[in-house]
Amino acid sequence: MEKNEQPRVEVNVTYLTIDQSSGAPIVVMKEKEGASKRMLLIWIGESEAGAIQMSLENLVLPRPMTHDLFKTVIETLDGEVTSICVHNVEEQTFYAQVNLQANGEAFDIDARPSDAIALALRCDAPIYVAEKVIENHGFPESELERAQKREPKDLLQNLDDDTLKQFTV
């Protein structure tokens, strides 16, 4: 388990979307198991969104991008990305770590969530969110479904104010 042995839940990257008010990309993740299927939104940079989208679509460029380079370096050194975890939020900033195994040792490397997610997707490593993070900053999938039924054109705009105010850019 990652930093401080805190409980965590496995998530999938469901899709990327754009914040209509700021134009910023958002990665949308959903809990893999559980009755409520909680979701978590993280605002990310454009280049990281591109890297994540490329992985989701299984696109390979003729030359390696940064996350491809990291994957190759880790594998060349006989290492493995075992998982990543979004483990904390401070002042509306999410924190993550990449969990590596190399030479019989485990390493927890601090990373931005977007970089960690892009690397995990390339390495087929599980993506986790600390329970406290998804509990405090996530929302049930049913809330998104209600927003989609009202107006599928702009999902984020239709989330209730209590849910959305957690995610200001």
Tens place of pLDDT per residue across the chain (169 aa): 444 468 999 999 999 999 999 999 999 999 998 767 899 999 999 999 999 999 999 988 889 899 999 999 999 999 999 999 999 999 999 999 999 999 999 999 999 999 999 999 999 999 999 999 999 999 998 887 666 565 545 555 556 555 555 554 4
Structural domain of residue 28, as residue ranges? 3-167
What pLDDT is attached to residue 168? 43
| Structural domain count, the chain | 1
How far are the Cα atoms of 13, 98, 129, 157 from residue 113, in angstroms, in the given order?
Answer: 12, 9, 10, 24
Q: Convert 119-155 to b/e letters by CB count within 10 Å (16 or more is b).
A: bbbbbebbbbbbeebbeebbbbbebbeebeeeeeeeb
What pLDDT is attached to residue 164? 53
H-assigned helices in 27-157: 46-56, 66-76, 113-123, 131-137, 141-150
CATH number at residue 79: 3.10.690.10
What pLDDT is attached to residue 127? 98
The residue assigned the tokens 């019989």 is 104
